[in-house]
Structure 1
Amino acid sequence: MELFQFFKILHIIGGFIALFVFWVPIVTKKGGKAHRVTGWVYTGGMIVVAISAFYMGAYRIFFDQHANPELVSFSWFLIFIAILSSAAAYYGIRVLRYKNRKDRHRNVLDLFYPLLLLSSGIGMCIYGGVNDVPLLTWFPLVGIFLGISQLSYWLQKPKKKMHWWFEHFSGMLACCISTITAFMVFGAPRLLAIESVSILLWFLPTIVITPLIVGLSIYYRKKFIKKAA
């Protein structure tokens, strides 16, 4: 079996695992066994997806002599999705690790990931604009926003109670955005034998999940305030 095919199979397996379990941590009791177990299963699936996506994208761009411009563009998008999903999942885990911090956070790797996400988002927007690819022009704005948001969180002293809790679920839900978006762009059209998908459908996960993040933040903030009172 060729190495590319091996990574492709890994990518499909990891993607379907993540796609099937991502909703469980959202609806189960936070901190409970089901939440933690399925959360780690989802994270493991996304690690496999990110590594395999990065390899396949890089292979198509730099080593596949038969790759056409459209395939190269989607390969760059695949690499960006790999960076976005892994950065969001990593952030969601690391904020729990440092939930008791009282000062600014200067860990090199924790700062490197959002910087990579920010710079790759800017690069992809420029690439998409130059090559007139709307998906690559506008979707990376999600990465730019998340990169700035993560850097801001690490470089400032915590000001709110349970700050780590809100950052954790926002990071993991952002990872969900990349999971579903990748499926909309790559998986669903191939499974359904559809040649062309509306660009609105590609942005649908962002449109739906972003208000969910905001709504859950408001709900749990009120809940924690009420509990404290």
Structure 2
Amino acid sequence: MCLLSGVGVLALGIKAGAPLLMGFSAIGLFTGQDMLRKRRHRERLAAQPRWWLVEHYSAMLGNGIATHIAFLAIGLPRLLPAIDGAALHYAAWFGPVVVAIIAKVVIDRRWKPKARGAAPEMARAA
């Protein structure tokens, strides 16, 4: 569903000429592709000891993005109308995404389990 939503938002962004929609369609496209990849290779995912931790902090980063965008794009211009403008608009939408991507890379280096060779016998039988 995420993949289809990403395609729909991309098509709408192209039709409307809205760079914001085109940029954010990448989230649905990437998430949908990632979900399909994990589904196809679920044995590999099951063999990773802390796969759930990676999913958990990834979701936490996604929630942080949503919270910060909501404040920066909706709340801040109403709180401080003098600083409203196009640059703030795009920074408010894309800034939290860039910060979260950097945070994800750093956190992955520390907590993401290293890939192993073949999946254990029990995981292959399932």
Compute the TM-score of the two structures, normalised by the length of structure 2. 0.72
Would the alpha carbon gap of residues 191 and 147 (structure 1) be closer, same or farther in structure 2, given more than 3 Å must change? Answer: farther
Equivalent in the alignment of 1:172: 60
Would the alpha carbon gap of residues 196 and 136 (structure 1) be closer, same or farther in structure 2, given more than 3 Å must change? Answer: same
CA distance in 1, matches of 2:32, 2:72: 23
Offset at residue 200 of structure 1 (A): 3.3
| Structure 1 residues not aligned, in runs of 5+ | 1-114, 223-229
> Of 115, 121, 138, which residue of structure 1 is paired with 2:23?
138
* SS of residue in 1 equivalent to 2:94: helix
Question: Runs of 4 or more off by more than 4 Å in structure 1?
Answer: none
1:211 counterpart = 2:102: yes
The number of equivalent residue pairs is: 107
Aligned-residue RMSD, C-alpha: 2.0
Offset at residue 147 of structure 1 (A): 2.4
Would the alpha carbon gap of residues 217 and 151 (structure 1) be closer, same or farther in structure 2, given more than 3 Å must change? Answer: same
> Of 115, 136, 148, which residue of structure 1 is paired with 2:33?
148
Superposed CA deviations along residues 198-226 of structure 1, whole A, max 9, x for unmatched, are: 1134201011111111211111247xxxx
1:186 counterpart = 2:74: yes
Offset at residue 124 of structure 1 (A): 1.1
Partner AA of 2:91 in structure 1: L
1:196 counterpart = 2:81: no
Superposed CA deviations along residues 180-209 of structure 1, whole A, max 9, x for unmatched, are: 123222222222125424113420101111
Query: Which structure would you say has the larger RCO, counting Cα contacts within 8 Å and 6 or more residues apart?
Result: 2
Equivalent in the alignment of 1:119: 4
Compute the TM-score of the two structures, normalised by the length of structure 1. 0.42
Would the alpha carbon gap of residues 118 and 184 (structure 1) be closer, same or farther in structure 2, given more than 3 Å must change? Answer: farther
